[in-house]
Amino acid sequence: MTPDGLRARLVVTRPSFALDVTLEAAPGEVVALLGPNGAGKTTALRALAGLTALSGGSRITLDGEPLHTTAAERRRIGMVFQDYLLFPHLSALDNVAFGPRCHGASKAEARRTAAALLERVGLAEHAAAKPRRLSGGQAQRVALARALAVHPRLLLLDEPLAALDAHTRLEIRSQLRRHLADFDGATVLVTHDPLDAMVLADRLVVVEQGAVVQQGAPAEVARRPRTDYVARLVGLNLYRGMADGARVTVGELLFSTSEHLEGPAFVAFPPAAVALYRSRPDGSPRNLWQATIEGIERHGDNVRVHLDGLIAAFADITPAAVADLDLAPGQQVWASVKATETHAYPA
């Protein structure tokens, strides 16, 4: 138990919505809150910032000091908003200098701090520009500099890359990663993009319907999803069943797996591991089931086939295979997946 970093239990109760999550972030650690829209990620972030009122049972400590009893303007936080919210009437420099000024720095001092930070994010030559003259990527970096200018112990990022186009996003993502690595306080970032979360965060906290459903290192979450939402995000087929040694029963289906388990278990396999046949293939009846084609769509270079039947599944096959098998929605096919590609873990 160290008093360092962020420890929070956030409870927000509204008539149509309830949030109850526990969050921890060590100094220097980047925690990503990942979840579908409306899961409560942004509410959690706003609660940390003091912009949304917390309900009873909530508690936030930052470096051992209580935060939930502190007004927003007295919290040692920096926040980057989704659409940045740079003050339109102030230059980039004065936007960044705003925080230091509020913390009692003299005008010259605040501007020196701001200029150094703009330099650090590579925007020294845009210091005099008004926000409307900045591109999306530049505005994002000014917003980051503005948040860092108050020397926060907790940095909050709300969908920091969502407002950027694909090309800028790539570049800003790697820059942001670098700046977050330099930052010595705790960071909580909210995103619905698994790639942003994987690249930027040391730890993922998946929130669905106001509750934490899974957390862990990005690689761990990607390998062992525990909800359908996470499975979809990381691109795996996921089922819950009962394990008995190297077999897992999912409904009426029996999966052979490479792991040995007992009791409730998850089975996961990538769509690319699913093979489709027009007629029942010979051999083991394990990992084999009959399915109906629900839909066919393009997926990268391959074709993603949506299967329904005993279990719903995605299968990724080549366009050539689609032509060979003459697949069409509504058709009956046989699907199988190799035991070596099937991954089982305790539920």
Partner 1 sequence: MTSSASPSPDRAPSRGPDRAPSRGGPAGRRDSPRRVTGRLPWMLLVPAVLGLAFLVLPLAGLLVRAPWPTLLQRLAEPQVLQALRLSLVTASIATAVCLVLGVPLAWLLARVSFPGRRVVRALVTVPLVLPPVVGGVALLLLLGRRGLLGQWLESTFGLTLPFTSAGVVVAEAFVAMPFLVISVEGALRGADQRFEEAAATLGASRWTVFRRVTLPLIMPGIVAGAVLCWARALGEFGATITFAGNFPGTTQTMPLAVYLALETEPEAAIVLSLVLLAVSVIILASLRDRWVNTP
- Residues of this chain that interact with partner 1 (CB under 8 A) are 49-51, 72-75, 77-79, 81, 85, 87-89, 98-99, 102-103, 146-147, 149-150, 156
Name every residue whose Cβ is closer than 8 Å to that of residue 119 and which is 6 or more positions away in sequence: none
**What H or E segment, with its residue span, contains residue 347?**
none
Q: Closest approach of Cβ 306 to partner 1, in Å?
A: 39
- The residue (of 78 and 137) whose beta carbon lies closer to partner 1 is 78
**What H or E segment, with its residue span, contains residue 149?**
none
**What H or E segment, with its residue span, contains residue 31?**
strand 30-34
> What is the Cα–Cα distance from 307 to 330, expressed in whole angstroms?
10
- The residue (of 120 and 304) whose beta carbon lies closer to partner 1 is 120
Mapped onto helix, strand or coil, the DSSP state of residue 264 is: strand
Residues β-bridged to residue 181 = none
CA 191 to chain centre: 5
- The residue (of 90 and 124) whose beta carbon lies closer to partner 1 is 90
Q: What is the DSSP letter of 281?
A: P
Q: Closest approach of Cβ 52 to partner 1, in Å?
A: 10
- The residue (of 143 and 305) whose beta carbon lies closer to partner 1 is 143
- The residue (of 72 and 195) whose beta carbon lies closer to partner 1 is 72
Mapped onto helix, strand or coil, the DSSP state of residue 274 is: strand
* Sign of the C-alpha dihedral computed for residues 284, 287, 290 and 295 taken in this order: negative
Q: Closest approach of Cβ 90 to partner 1, in Å?
A: 8
> What is the Cα–Cα distance from 315 to 235, expressed in whole angstroms?
11
- The residue (of 78 and 210) whose beta carbon lies closer to partner 1 is 78
Q: Give the side-chain half-sphere CA count within 13 A for 341.
A: 13
- The residue (of 75 and 169) whose beta carbon lies closer to partner 1 is 75
Q: Closest approach of Cβ 342 to partner 1, in Å?
A: 47
> What is the Cα–Cα distance from 247 to 258, expressed in whole angstroms?
9
Q: Closest approach of Cβ 340 to partner 1, in Å?
A: 51
Q: Closest approach of Cβ 330 to partner 1, in Å?
A: 39
Q: Closest approach of Cβ 149 to partner 1, in Å?
A: 8
Q: Closest approach of Cβ 191 to partner 1, in Å?
A: 19
CA of 76: how far to CAs of 43, 48, 63, 153, in Å? 19, 11, 10, 6
Q: Which amino acid is at 270?
A: P
- The residue (of 131 and 218) whose beta carbon lies closer to partner 1 is 131
- The residue (of 73 and 326) whose beta carbon lies closer to partner 1 is 73
Q: Closest approach of Cβ 78 to partner 1, in Å?
A: 7
Structural tokens at position 294: 């629900």
C-beta neighbour count of 181 within 10 angstroms: 12
Helix 92-102 to helix 107-120 angle, to the nearest 10 degrees?
130
> What is the Cα–Cα distance from 93 to 48, expressed in whole angstroms?
26
